[in-house]
Structure 1
Amino acid sequence: MTEATNTPTVTATATTTTTKPIRGPAPYALTDLQLVPTTVPKIIQKTWTNNMEEWAKGVPEDQYHARERHLASTAFSSEGRLVTWVLVPKPGTDATEAYKAGRSGAGGVGGAFAEDSVEEENLERILGALETYERPGLVARTEGDEEEGVKDVSTMSIASVYVPSKYRHHGYGHLMMKLLWEEMESRKIAFTFLYSDLGPDFYGDFGWTPRTCTQILIPSTFILPTPPSARTRGSVKSVALDPIATDAELQELIDQDARLVRQDLETRLAAAKANTDTKIKTIVAVTPEVRAIQWLHARSHFNASVIFAKNFPDPSKIQSDLKYGVRVPGTLNQFVLWHHDFTDDNLFILRWRLDPSSSSSPEPEDSDAIALAFAQAAKDEAKKWNLSKIVFWNGDAELAQLLGLKVETRKDSIPSLGLLNTAYPGHRSDELEWVLNQKYSWC
């Protein structure tokens, strides 16, 4: 999630109104503001209430808050990995004279923010908020220590960037991201990433640069083609698939996936060092981790069983039928993981691994059959849950060609990446490659 540009207000009822942006005097001067972390539950809940105007989509406040509490209790959000930040007035400051004069004593904000106060007057001083998740990553560089190879690093993903509509157009969003970048520079963070709904340029002012942003869309009604190899053999090889249903099965796949991602970076690093013509000097990847997949699964389960419960009246069926994905039986490198996005009517592909070069992989002529079996399984899953389409971010162009579909450029959730200057001084964004820039790293 990222800060919204539109200003529709969605309340706990079905009524939707449009709030015009306020362009009067700024409540506070930029120099009087600070970005601070908070662990106070009611302050965090106020940030959820604020961003409901954009992201609730008609969801009652109690359900929206319950979902956020549920996600905050998962392993992905535990042990200090999730931090909520608020942009608030510094101690000893007050609202601007122009703002107070314009209010003429008719309410509004004023005074400094008290970090432990949950009084409504104090909560109204939250001018913006965001969330950060500390996550494992991998970095490989062609410059520096030759023995360094692929390094395990700490990364930070940014989510829920939001300025309430009544406080916009005063530079608060810009200031919040600038202060956050400075905060990350002071920590041992190697790189940071987010998904922008404000276009490709807004976050570039602070260090995040837009990266490859494509998708493959497969309607759930789409008729899959015959594998090209079968056209010459005269038959289609049957591909059996097993569901990925348990946490233990998921853990085994993700552990192997992380090892294979590391191997991929090692191969790319060796190739980049050998190729004197390449501009790529730094290769990064967000390490696949089971906690992130489980967080997305928890989001799907809560939405199905609570927010959209009327569509799925049998809770036991949700618990038993909401699977992580499918795989080729007996393999750890032939699988697809997905996420049921009931809010936006999508089945998202989180990870798609089909390794034709692996010794345990099928013969090359059967790779198409497995890819089509994965696509069919995703279609079946989407239909089962009444989702209209499958979405594959930065999906392989060969898959699109196999399906006879176009690789589209998307204009929302634009992946944006930045290396921290304290970790990699003097780096250039055009010398940076983001490997596996797919939905599994979204939050």
Structure 2
Amino acid sequence: MSTSALPSSTSPTIILTNPTPPERNRTWTYSQPEWGNSLTVPEYLNREEYLLTIPLARNGGITNWILTDSAAAVNPDTTERPVLASCETLRKRALVRGKDGIVRDVWAYGIASVFTYSEFRGRGYASKMIELLREYMTAKQQESGEPAFSILFSDIGKEFYAKHGWMPLENTQIEYRVKESPVEFDASVIKLLGDEDLAALTERDEELIRREMALPNSSEVSKTRVAVLPDIDTLQWHFYRQAFICNTAYGRKPTVHGALYTSPSTGSRVWGLFERNHYGGPNKPEKNVLSFLRFVVEDSDIIDEELSEAVVGIFRAAEKEAKDWECSKVEIWNPLGRVRKIVEIAAEFESIFVVRDAKNLASLNWFGEGTAEDLDWVVNERFEWC
């Protein structure tokens, strides 16, 4: 479609719909320079196809969307429609504790890969697509109760998505640079976590979150509480994606997904799960980051000395993995107050505390009564990113 023939974003012929496989592949090809990072176009296409086969994607777990003009002529050679903008939604298990104090199992929809072809930008198409998607979710919620809320992570600041209802909430992180020779962790105290550990830990984590959700907000008891669950399918989406990129770039896959500490006095555990994000790959390692997906303190009453030993040991293990996988930085989003304090006191990490205001802004659209600002977003951590 020539730019001179482009319809207005307010045209009644503009619709939100699902792409055909050729339309989806064309969209992925156009978006590869934006999100392909170290992957070539064929590698990026293979990764996106692969991610549609993993457990989180099954039974409608991942849905691709395009904005198109229903009145435009279809390409006679490819039978493809013009794609003005595109995105995808990921359905995730979640919890809501209402004002009645009852915790309910719900679905939340994550929005990802919002993209407009460069020649079509500045015409309001992305805004139209997001508005149509919001209307679709709102109607679906009113009909069936699904989704209860939606999340996304903005890389274009706060204003664009906020005007459509996705409000940026807590967005902080601790980060530290990976040293040339990281301090070794004590392997007699810290256990590295592999595939075989994930199922039991995620089940235990869900128990802890349900227990936390059953309680009112400590400062404002009237707040509605919401949480996306870090279940095995949600975490595996990150690990499968990571494995594909690492195997393509380095010819091997990570086997360590985190680290765990067990209290010698009570047997309670502290663990952190992390992923490697190779934004620069082997050629630009300064762009690679190891990110904690989830950090769990099983017993909130763990004594300071043991929690310090746990946090320092787990962060050392993370730094070692970061070094082994050519990551220049380690980060953890919205850390617990006690965890933050310990990391900042530990001089070896030389950590800094950052309030994000431009990229990876965790934002939430609430479809129930009230607004997103009135919610208590429990466990707002990296595992929810999509």
Does the TM-score normalized on the shorter chain lie above 0.5? Answer: yes
Q: CA RMSD in A?
A: 2.6
Cα distance in 1 for residues equivalent to 2:186 and 2:291: 26
Equivalent residues in 2 for 1:11-30, closer than 5 Å: 25=4, 27-30=6-9
**Residue of structure 2 aligned with 1:325, choices 221, 233, 258:** 258
In the TM superposition, residue 223 of structure 1 has moved relative to its aligned partner by: 9.0
**Residue of structure 2 aligned with 1:257, choices 205, 223, 232:** 205
Cα distance in 1 for residues equivalent to 2:275 and 2:8: 42
> Are residue 195 (structure 1) and residue 153 (structure 2) matched?
yes
Cα distance in 1 for residues equivalent to 2:226 and 2:213: 8
Cα distance in 2 for residues equivalent to 1:166 and 1:406: 39
- On the 8 A contact 1:282/1:431 being kept in 2, the answer is yes
In the TM superposition, residue 57 of structure 1 has moved relative to its aligned partner by: 3.2
Secondary structure, aligned partner of 2:192 = strand
- On the 8 A contact 1:256/1:332 being kept in 2, the answer is no
Secondary structure, aligned partner of 2:34 = helix
Secondary structure, aligned partner of 1:174 = helix
Which amino acid in structure 1 is aligned with residue 210 of structure 2? R
Match of 1:103 in 2: none
Which amino acid in structure 2 is aligned with residue 153 of structure 1? V
Secondary structure, aligned partner of 2:170 = coil
User: Percent identity among equivalent residues?
Assistant: 25
Secondary structure, aligned partner of 1:45 = helix
Equivalent residues in 2 for 1:257-276, closer than 5 Å: 257-269=205-217, 272-273=220-221
Deviation above 4 Å: which 4+ runs of structure 1? 23-26, 222-225, 236-239, 329-333
Match of 1:35 in 2: 16
Cα distance in 1 for residues equivalent to 2:97 and 2:336: 22
Structure 2 alignment gaps of length 5 or more: 141-145, 280-286, 345-350
- Structure 1 residues 259, 386: closer, same or farther in 2, change over 3 A? same
Cα distance in 1 for residues equivalent to 2:298 and 2:154: 31
Cα distance in 2 for residues equivalent to 1:133 and 1:336: 24
**Residue of structure 2 aligned with 1:244, choices 159, 176, 193:** 193
- Structure 1 residues 37, 333: closer, same or farther in 2, change over 3 A? farther
Secondary structure, aligned partner of 2:214 = helix
Cα distance in 2 for residues equivalent to 1:384 and 1:238: 17
Cα distance in 2 for residues equivalent to 1:59 and 1:149: 46
Normalising by the residue count of structure 2, what TM-score does the alignment of the two structures yield?
0.86
- Structure 1 residues 26, 368: closer, same or farther in 2, change over 3 A? farther
**Residue of structure 2 aligned with 1:205, choices 153, 163, 167:** 163
- Structure 1 residues 435, 349: closer, same or farther in 2, change over 3 A? same
Cα distance in 1 for residues equivalent to 2:92 and 2:309: 35
Cα distance in 1 for residues equivalent to 2:33 and 2:186: 51
CA deviations 1:346-370 (Å, max 9, x no partner) are 1000011123435xx5x44211111
> Are residue 347 (structure 1) and residue 305 (structure 2) matched?
no
Which amino acid in structure 1 is aligned with residue 67 of structure 2? L
Cα distance in 1 for residues equivalent to 2:133 and 2:262: 45
Secondary structure, aligned partner of 2:363 = strand
> Are residue 409 (structure 1) and residue 355 (structure 2) matched?
yes
**Residue of structure 1 aligned with 2:132, choices 150, 167, 179:** 179
Cα distance in 2 for residues equivalent to 1:291 and 1:88: 31
- On the 8 A contact 1:212/1:415 being kept in 2, the answer is yes
- Structure 1 residues 160, 237: closer, same or farther in 2, change over 3 A? closer
In the TM superposition, residue 332 of structure 1 has moved relative to its aligned partner by: 7.2
- Structure 1 residues 260, 333: closer, same or farther in 2, change over 3 A? farther
Match of 2:329 in 1: 389
Secondary structure, aligned partner of 1:296 = helix
Secondary structure, aligned partner of 2:151 = strand
Cα distance in 2 for residues equivalent to 1:356 and 1:241: 17
Greater radius of gyration (CA): 1
Match of 1:6 in 2: none
> Are residue 61 (structure 1) and residue 41 (structure 2) matched?
yes
Secondary structure, aligned partner of 1:137 = strand
Cα distance in 2 for residues equivalent to 1:271 and 1:255: 28
> Are residue 299 (structure 1) and residue 241 (structure 2) matched?
yes
CA deviations 1:142-161 (Å, max 9, x no partner) are 2xxx3x51111111000001
**Residue of structure 1 aligned with 2:223, choices 281, 286, 308:** 281
- On the 8 A contact 1:253/1:333 being kept in 2, the answer is no
Equivalent residues in 2 for 1:402-441, closer than 5 Å: 402-404=342-344, 405-410=351-356, 411-420=358-367, 424-425=368-369, 427-441=370-384
Match of 2:307 in 1: 367
Match of 1:134 in 2: 91
Secondary structure, aligned partner of 1:183 = helix
Match of 1:70 in 2: 50
Secondary structure, aligned partner of 1:78 = helix
In the TM superposition, residue 281 of structure 1 has moved relative to its aligned partner by: 2.1
Normalising by the residue count of structure 1, what TM-score does the alignment of the two structures yield?
0.75
- On the 8 A contact 2:277/2:291 being kept in 1, the answer is yes
Secondary structure, aligned partner of 1:79 = helix
- Structure 1 residues 172, 37: closer, same or farther in 2, change over 3 A? same
In the TM superposition, residue 76 of structure 1 has moved relative to its aligned partner by: 1.1
Match of 1:12 in 2: none
Match of 2:67 in 1: 87
CA deviations 1:211-263 (Å, max 9, x no partner) are 111111121119999xxxxxxxxxx99861222212x4201100110111111
**Residue of structure 2 aligned with 1:219, choices 149, 173, 177:** 177
Cα distance in 2 for residues equivalent to 1:268 and 1:181: 29
- Structure 1 residues 430, 223: closer, same or farther in 2, change over 3 A? farther
- Structure 1 residues 284, 357: closer, same or farther in 2, change over 3 A? same
Which amino acid in structure 2 is aligned with residue 251 of structure 1? A
Cα distance in 2 for residues equivalent to 1:201 and 1:26: 29
